[in-house]
Amino acid sequence: MTEPVRGIVAGIDGSRSAVEAACWAAREARYRGAELTLLHTTFVPDPAPYVPVKLPRSYPDALREQGAEWLADAEQAVRELDPGLVVHVVQREGVVLNGLIAATTTAQLVVVGSRGLGGVGGFVLGSVARALIARGQGPVAIVRGEAPDGAPVAVGVSGEAESDPAIGFAFEAASQRRVPLLAVRASGEQLPPRLDQWTTKYPDVEVRPIAVKGKHAKEIAKAAKDAQLVVVGVRGGASTAQALARTSSCPVAVIR
């Protein structure tokens, strides 16, 4: 039986984006007083259905060794960043996406890079990141751009109860970082009264309301252009969260 992963989990795939995500996850683990797990799932397919030639018997071992090297590189980067952090290195076999989705059921937060191995720059969002936003069962963070220390945290707010998990996550993140919280709402809307419960729980967090035209992801991203983290709920659907993860200039946390 596979042992469930807990704390903060970073998905590792050998890409530079994944190493950046691991380093961001390490800082998040430090903020939360949590342990960090670096997770790589090695997909070892039956070669017959995929290729017309017979692969050497060493092929599966080569894939496993490559995965171990990717994990070692990520671990080295994390330990250089925070030598005192408790870091677990986990390598499994199976379908990559399935392993990460399973991790979302037990971890505090699952973190991945915005682009996988072979990804390109610009506003391309990797297939694993897209699928995690749509199918993950718990909080997911997509790491892209910069996360400058001292910059505020931003969150999209509405008067609906479904936004509460995202608002709570954002308040906690702002409190841990000791930075203001940008409460982004549609123009003409007032900050919902339900926000009071969070300002009472986190009196140290300064809330700065920001009004945008509509609730489109581009408008939210524009309002949060100077933030170090953008938090968005996904209970109403994944499309806005996916668009925000594509256009944001900083990491995006998607909360259920």
> Looking at the structure, do residues 126 and 242 belong to the same domain, yes or no?
no
Q: Is residue 149 scored above 80 in pLDDT? A: yes
Yes or no: say if 253 and 111 are a contact pair by the CB < 8 Å rule. no
The answer to whether residues 18 and 74 touch, using CB atoms and an 8 Å cutoff, is yes
Identify the domain containing residue 228 by its residue range.
Answer: 153-255
Q: Does 173 lie in the same domain as 232?
A: yes
Residues comprising the chain, all counted: 256
pLDDT at 46: 67
What are the respective helix, strand and coil percentages of the chain, to the nearest 5? 40, 20, 40
Provide mean pLDDT across the span 241-246.
90
Do 176 and 122 share a structural domain?
A: no
Same domain, 20 and 49: yes
Say which CATH number the domain at 36 has: 3.40.50.620
- Percent of the chain past pLDDT 70, that is, above it, reads 88
In sequence order, the 6+-apart residues with CB closer than 8 A to the CB of 54 are 47
Give whole-number Cα distances, 103 to 10, 41, 43, 107, 233, in Å. Answer: 10, 11, 16, 6, 19
Q: How confident is the model at residue 141 (pLDDT cuts 50, 70, 90)?
A: very high
Contact residues for 69 (Cβ-Cβ < 8 A; gap 6+): 14
Beta-carbon contacts of residue 37 (< 8 Å; ≥ 6 apart): 5, 6, 7, 8, 9, 10, 87, 88, 89, 90, 107
Confidence of residue 150 (pLDDT cuts 50, 70, 90): very high
- How many helices (H) and strands (E) in the chain? 8, 10
Q: Which of 213, 130, 210 is nearest to 170 (CA)?
A: 210
Residue with tokens 């007032």: 190
pLDDT at 121: 39
Residue 52 confidence class, pLDDT cut points 50, 70, 90: low
Give the global pTM.
0.91
| 231 in Cβ contact with 256 (< 8 Å) | no
Among 143, 178, 211, which residue terminates a domain?
143
Map residue 239 onto helix, strand or coil.
helix
Strand order in the sheet with 109-113: 87-93, 36-42, 8-11, 109-113, 140-143, 252-255, 229-233, 153-156, 181-186, 207-212
Enclosing H/E stretch for 188? none
Q: Give yes or no for a contact between 65 and 93, defined as CB atoms under 8 angstroms apart.
A: no
Q: What is the pLDDT of residues 100-110, one digit of tens each?
A: 999 999 999 99
Q: Are residues 17 and 78 in the same domain?
A: yes
Both 249 and 162 in a single domain?
A: yes
pLDDT of residue 48: 59
Whole-number pLDDT of residue 220: 85
Looking at the predicted structure, is the pLDDT value of residue 76 above 70? yes
Residue 57 has pLDDT above 70, yes or no: no
Quick one: which of 32, 126, 30 has its CA closest to 78? 30
